[in-house]
């Protein structure tokens, strides 16, 4: 895979003078929750609404997502707010359903990036399409697996690509839920400087109070965007409640980043 400015082309459509903001709940829970959050996000810097429909929980027994039903809610949110949408796909059936419901951007979860078999199947399902695909780092700190996933999409002609840095799991205790290991995305960017890089501070932090400093570090490292889990009532979220913020807190976050970085 050659490095190519073409990889960044999909970012142009947003016409932004600040990093791309993707925000929305960890999980789509109800139609009301998705719409309410989306409407509140309309008044923020957010360009793309995120919500997980199929949730890859590490252990069974937790909320595993509403499934395809949630795609209709995302569609409605897009119609009502004009926000673009993104959701996680983990197999070719998900891809098919997401495409049928006009999801704008697909993301690959950290537990999928570890599986070259699954990545290959998803990449083949998207063969030759213009779809934008954002690939989260694998759960484990393995640069080759991450690069390999990017290359599998590229080889199928999927060239509107980006990567999401969501941190890496560790058995050792840490203040982070997933340790950032900033060097890994830097090494990835050294190979593919034109591949857009987005920070997911929510899954790195695991709690709200570390999100700002993680975003600041990402800006210092010239990341292209952030994906922040945002819920109109975070404490009541059905998944990842501790790390989600309200749309109002997101406004504060981006304003503070703006002031600190003196960008317009
Ligand atoms: C998510 O974005 O809600 C999610 C499940 O993320 P990850 O794949 O990074 O764990
Ligand atoms: Mn989550």
- Structural domains of the chain, ranges and CATH numbers in brackets: 5-258 (3.20.20.70)
* Residue given tokens 């897009």 in the structure block: 78
Query: Best mutation site among 37, 56, 201, 245 for ligand 1, i.e. most ligand atoms within 8 A of its Cβ?
Result: 56
Contact 50, 86 (CB under 8 A): yes
Distances (CA, A) of 231 to 45, 50, 56, 111, 115: 15, 10, 19, 23, 30
What is the number of the ligand closest to the CA of 200?
A: 1
- Number of the ligand 1 atom closest to the C-alpha atom of 166: 9
For the stretch 169-198, pLDDT in tens is 999 999 999 999 999 999 999 999 999 999
For the stretch 112-147, pLDDT in tens is 999 999 999 999 999 989 999 999 999 999 999 999
Q: Which residues of the chain have pLDDT under 70?
A: 262-264
Report whether residue 196 contacts ligand 1, using a CB cutoff of 6 Å: no
Q: Whose CA is nearest to atom 9 of ligand 1?
A: 110
State the complex-level ipTM.
0.99
Q: Whose CA is nearest to atom 10 of ligand 1?
A: 110
Q: Whose CA is nearest to atom 2 of ligand 1?
A: 26
Report whether residue 109 contacts ligand 1, using a CB cutoff of 6 Å: yes
Report whether residue 26 contacts ligand 1, using a CB cutoff of 6 Å: yes
Give the pLDDT of residue 5. Answer: 75
* Residue given tokens 């949730």 in the structure block: 55
Give the pLDDT of residue 262. Answer: 64
Q: Which ranges of the chain would DSSP assign to H, the alpha helix? A: 31-41, 69-81, 92-100, 110-113, 116-125, 143-155, 183-191, 201-205, 211-220, 247-261
Give the pLDDT of residue 263. Answer: 56
d(CA 123, CA 179): 28
Give the pLDDT of residue 128. Answer: 86
């Amino acid at each position: 895979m050659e490095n190519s400015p073409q990889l960044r082309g999909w970012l142009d459509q947003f016409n932004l003078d600040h990093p791309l903001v993707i925000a929305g709940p960890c999980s789509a829970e109800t139609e009301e929750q998705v719409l309410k959050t989306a409407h509140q996000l309309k008044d923020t810097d957010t360009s793309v609404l995120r919500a997980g429909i199929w949730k890859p929980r590490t252990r069974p027994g937790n909320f595993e997502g509403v499934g395809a039903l949630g795609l209709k809610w995302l569609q409605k949110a897009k119609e009502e707010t004009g926000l673009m949408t993104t959701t996680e796909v983990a197999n070719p059936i998900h891809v098919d359903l997401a495409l049928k419901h006009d999801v704008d951007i697909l993301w690959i979860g950290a537990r999928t990036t570890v599986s070259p078999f699954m990545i290959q199947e998803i990449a083949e399902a998207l063969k030759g399409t213009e779809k934008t695909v954002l690939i989260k780092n694998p759960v484990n700190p393995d640069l080759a697996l991450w690069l390999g996933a990017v290359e599998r999409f590229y080889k199928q002609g999927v060239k509107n690509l980006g990567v999401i840095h969501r941190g890496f799991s560790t058995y050792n205790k840490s203040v982070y839920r997933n340790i950032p290991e900033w060097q890994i995305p830097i090494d990835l960017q050294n190979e593919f400087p034109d591949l857009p890089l987005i920070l997911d501070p929510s899954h790195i932090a695991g709690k709200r109070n570390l999100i700002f400093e993680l975003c600041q570090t990402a800006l210092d490292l010239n990341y292209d965007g952030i994906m922040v889990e945002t819920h109109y009532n975070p404490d009541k979220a059905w998944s990842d409640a501790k790390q989600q913020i309200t749309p109002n807190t997101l406004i504060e976050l981006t304003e503070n980043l703006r002031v600190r970085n003196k960008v317009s």
